[in-house]
Amino acid sequence: MTKPKQTILYVDTENLKYYIKKICKKHKKKANIENYVFERLFESALKAIEISTTRFYSAKLRFHKESPKKSQELIQKQRVLKANLEKIGYSFIISGNVRGQKVRVNGKEKLVFHEKGVDVRIAVDIVAEVCDGIVNKVILCSSDSDLQPAVSEVKKRGIEITYLGFESQPNKGLIYTCDRSILIRDSEILEALSKSQTNFYSS
């Protein structure tokens, strides 16, 4: 028996976290990402679209001896987020790596972490699942322009792909490349904060 084709939501975790934090800061709200109500956000933004599978993609975090406290904090937060997402039926896929890079900020040396390889895994999974006939609709929650070649390949094969971005800072390239775009409003971001996250932002 042939399995029914799916509508899959592919989420670039760090990209989504970045915009949630940025928008919350703008509105003087503090975002605890580990307890953020992602299902409420997607239900509000995607409305009548029935999602078969939701996948969060994130890089593998490693312990950096130059920044032990920060490394341990990030690793623990990722574990909590993964557990919370899996509890509600979402998949959490770890691929790629986080690399530390020393930069100078205001004359002081600082260790900054950058993800590598997550966009490649998302692109490979999307194209592979389209080619295998697993998916008939793709929802891409990422504002990474590097994913445009994968988007073009999906469209060539006649599969509808939707860009799920942010009204406050949309990616024009992905808007142009994808079949349709859904832009999340600031109000939808704020409405998905848990009740424990209503305090004002403090940096």
What is the per-residue pLDDT across 130-150, written as a single tens digit (0 to 9) for each? 999 999 999 999 999 999 999
**Euclidean distance between CA atoms 16 and 141, whole angstroms:** 7
Categorize the per-residue pLDDT at 178 as very low, low, confident or very high, splitting at 50, 70 and 90. very high
Is the four-CA dihedral 125, 170, 42, 18 of positive or negative sign? Answer: positive
Among 15-19, 97-101, 107-111, 198-202, the range with the most confident prediction by mean pLDDT is 15-19
- Its pTM stands at 0.87
Categorize the per-residue pLDDT at 39 as very low, low, confident or very high, splitting at 50, 70 and 90. very high
Query: Regarding the domain delimited by 12-197, which CATH topology (the fold level of the hierarchy) does it fall under?
Result: Rossmann fold (3.40.50)
User: Whose structure tokens read 């406050």?
Assistant: 168
Q: Where do the structural domains in the chain lie, given as residue ranges?
A: 12-197
